Each structure stands twice: as C-alpha cells, then as structure tokens.
Chain A
Amino acid sequence: MAKRVKDEMVHDHNNDGVDRRGFLKCMAWAGTGALCVMQGGVLKSYSLSRLADLGASAPAAGELSFVQISDSHMGFNKPANPDVAGTLKAAVDKINGLSVAPEFMLHTGDISHLSKPEEFDTVDQILKGAKPKNVFYVPGEHDVLNDDGKQFLERYGKGAKGAGWYSFDKKGTHFIGLVNVMNLKAGGLGTLGHEQLEWIEDDVKHLKSSTPIVVFAHIPLWSVYPEWGWGTDDSAQALAYLKKFGSVTVLNGHIHQTMQKVEGNVTFHTACSTAFPQPQPGKADSPGPMKVPAEQLRSVLGITDVNFVTGQHALAVVDSSLA
C-alpha cells in the first residue's frame, strides 16, 4: 500500500486548505513580487511589499537571490485595476530598492492579458527599468491565446524545448521552467503533457540529490482548488521525478494570492499578481478579478509579510511571523 503523504498546511485554521493570513496580506498586494534568497540550499521567500517593515530582520544575503513576479496582465483595464502598468512599475521600484541585489527575475506567466504584441512590448519596456537584467519567463494561459503560444516562443522561448520549457543552473541551484497552459482539455486542469514529463525525467537524471531544485510554472503544480482549475492534472508525475532531491521549491502564479504548503521534500509557493487580486478558493462565485477600494489597492496593511522557509536538510517549515 502506498504510504500516505501527510500534507502540512500553514495557518490553516479552518482546515480548508486556505492560508487566511496569506490572503489578508495579499489584499495589500498590488505592485508586489517576492524576493527569493537561497541560503544553505534552502529557499526563503520574502514579499517585496513587506521588506521595508522588516528592519533588522531584513533578509541576509544568501548564496543566491532572485525575484519572482507574476500575473502582470498588461492590457487589463477593468475597475479591479485600471493601471496595471503603474502597479508593475511599482514592483520594479521595489526591486530596484532592494539592498540585496537580485541576480535575475522569474516571471511566472500571464505577462499579457490578451496576448497582444503591444502588451508584451509594454511589459518588456517596464522591466528594462529593473536592475536585474535577466528575466526568465514561463507562459500563462493569457500569453498563448489564439496562436498556440507561437508569439510567446518567439519572444521568450529562444533555446527552449517544446512549448517553451527549459532549465538552467545558477550558483549550484538547478532551475526548471515548465509550461502547463497548453492543450488544455475540456473539464481538465493545467497540463504538462507526456513530452514535457519525459524531458523533466531526463533533465534531472544526472543531478546529485543534494542539488537544490527550483521549479517554476504558471498554474500551481499542487491542487489548490481544482473546482476553479487551480491545479495541474499530471503534476504528481513531475514531482515524482524530483523525489530524490533534498530541497525542492515550486514557484507558481495564476491564483493572484500567496499560499505556501510543504509536502515532504517540496515547498510550494504561489505569488501575488502585480495587477489584481483574486478571491480565496470557493469564497466567491468565480475566480474573477476582485475589486478592492482604490486606496487599498496600493496601501500596505500593518501586518508583517515574511514567508520564510527554514530547515536542516529538507525544507521543513513555512512560517509567516516576524513582527
């Protein structure tokens, strides 16, 4: 019989898999991103909108730091956020204000809202203003509308395999960018597909089990809320290939709110959007944009927003304290 995997959910006071504290923080999320610091093979993730509050607890420089931004939805102009360019610029300002200079950025998809060339152009232009010059992208479903991702590949997928998946190494950490927004099937969730799964298996085969792994993809690779399509049908297969590694971090976007979860050797994080928030799973009629008062959109709530992951060997604890 298969061993039951114990899921550990942090701040899950209602036993429904929802990190309410993370959600509240995300209400003040606009223009945010996450600073990720790799220290001793363990990744710590800090919300950019809270760094200023950290003071003495500010993140120490690890062997590697980078920034994750997500869901900029350039082109969106509805009341939930009529100025998505402005909030993306705010994220860039925060990145440029970091004392620990990140080496590069990850964008976990939904760069554009409608896959229009001018939307991608605008994001490229704004991100040119960021100090880290290297940006690694994976597509969201909004980036591959109408053309099966052809434009995305031309713009961001140079040297990538298949629909745009690839891997690279930075200072001993192995990064894997995955595509789970293509060829979606009626009634289904995100999909990696057979070809990509085979590639993953092959890609990590020769790595030492002590190599820290960071996987990034748009749709969560864990089952956040399948009723709203917040999950990936064949993610279990991908994660099975990563079982031998002591430290695996999975970074996703798509759900426009932060959540963390630890499952065995794997720590999952989702990032806020730089454009607009979405409701907690099941707490609205649909996962559509959530309208919050304009002043709240850019405001910073008076709570600390540090999510840090520590552990001896495997990643063990996700906490969200620090006053």
Chain B
Amino acid sequence: MRRGVCSFVLMAIGIAAVACMEGGSRRSIASAGEPPASNAEVKIDNFSFGPPTVTVAAGTTVTWTNRDDIPHTVVSDDKAFKSKVMDTDEKFSFTFAKPGTYSYFCSVHPKMTGKVVVQ
C-alpha cells in the first residue's frame, strides 16, 4: 500500500520534471525565432471540414473532431496521413513537421475535402 503511494508520487514528480524540460526546450526554440508548437482544431459538421483550410506553423498538431451522426475519415491526397474511421465525437490528430500544403479528404465521402497549409 505504502509502496504504491510512494511510486505514484515518484511517477508524478517524473511527469512534472518531463513537463518542465519540455516547457524549457520550447521556450528556447521560440527565443531562437521559431513560432512555438501549438494546436489547431478542425470540426466535421454536416459532411464538411470547418474551417476547410487551416494555416498553421510547422510543428503544429491539428486535431479533427467528427460531430456528425455519420462516420468520416481524414486522408491526405498523397497518403501522408490517414485516420481510422471516426465515429461521432471521435478525434484524429496529426503533427505537421514540414511546411507545405496538405490536401485531404474523407475517403468515405470524397466530396468532403480540406487543406492544411503549414508555414
């Protein structure tokens, strides 16, 4: 019992330490002139991606959330990324390391298209 609590505390400290280090390294990158890593959201409503185009900095993680009653997918035209099928309220995330324009679509409903512009 005691040991359990103890290791939990140690684990928590460990996580805090990692978080600290991450925060530190991010700050140093930002100070070197690069934008900080961040997140962007794309919502799927009524068989469309909103916003249809997102413009983000390199290193940004984009998260798609399906808010329809029907399953959808997120698949890049060049297959650089490909989600599993997302049922209602399920999410998919992808981190864009390299600048470029990434066109994507829903492989179930290919009329649904979107774009991620990474700067």
- Chain A bound to chain B: yes
- A-side residues, CB < 8 A to B, are 76, 78, 80, 113-115, 141-142, 145-146, 184-189, 227-229, 285-289
Cβ-defined contact, A142 with B108, below 8 A: yes
| Stretch of B19-27, B55-63, B66-74 on the interface side | B66-74
Distance in angstroms between the alpha carbons of A114 and B68 in the assembled complex: 14
Say if the beta carbon of B48 comes within 8 Å of chain A.
yes
Chain A residues with Cβ below 8 Å from B70 are 288-289
* 8 residue pairs from A and B, CB less than 8 Å apart: A76-B69, A113-B71, A141-B108, A142-B108, A186-B110, A229-B109, A286-B46, A287-B47
Cβ-defined contact, A145 with B113, below 8 A: no
- Smallest distance from the beta carbon of A82 to chain B beta carbons, Å? 12
Interface Cβ pair total, 8 Å cutoff: 56
**What residue in chain A is nearest B48 (Cβ atoms)?**
A286
Say if the beta carbon of B105 comes within 8 Å of chain A.
yes
Interface of B is mostly: loop
**What residue in chain B is nearest A79 (Cβ atoms)?**
B69
Number of residues from B at the complex interface, CB < 8 A: 22
User: Beyond A145-B108, A146-B85: 12 further Cβ-contacts under 8 Å?
Assistant: A114-B87, A142-B71, A145-B71, A145-B85, A184-B107, A184-B110, A186-B104, A187-B111, A188-B110, A189-B111, A229-B109, A289-B69
Chain A residues with Cβ below 8 Å from B110 are 184-189, 229
- Smallest distance from the beta carbon of B119 to chain A beta carbons, Å? 22
Chain A residues with Cβ below 8 Å from B48 are 286
- Smallest distance from the beta carbon of A118 to chain B beta carbons, Å? 14
Cβ-defined contact, B105 with A186, below 8 A: yes
- Smallest distance from the beta carbon of B34 to chain A beta carbons, Å? 31
**What residue in chain B is nearest A75 (Cβ atoms)?**
B87
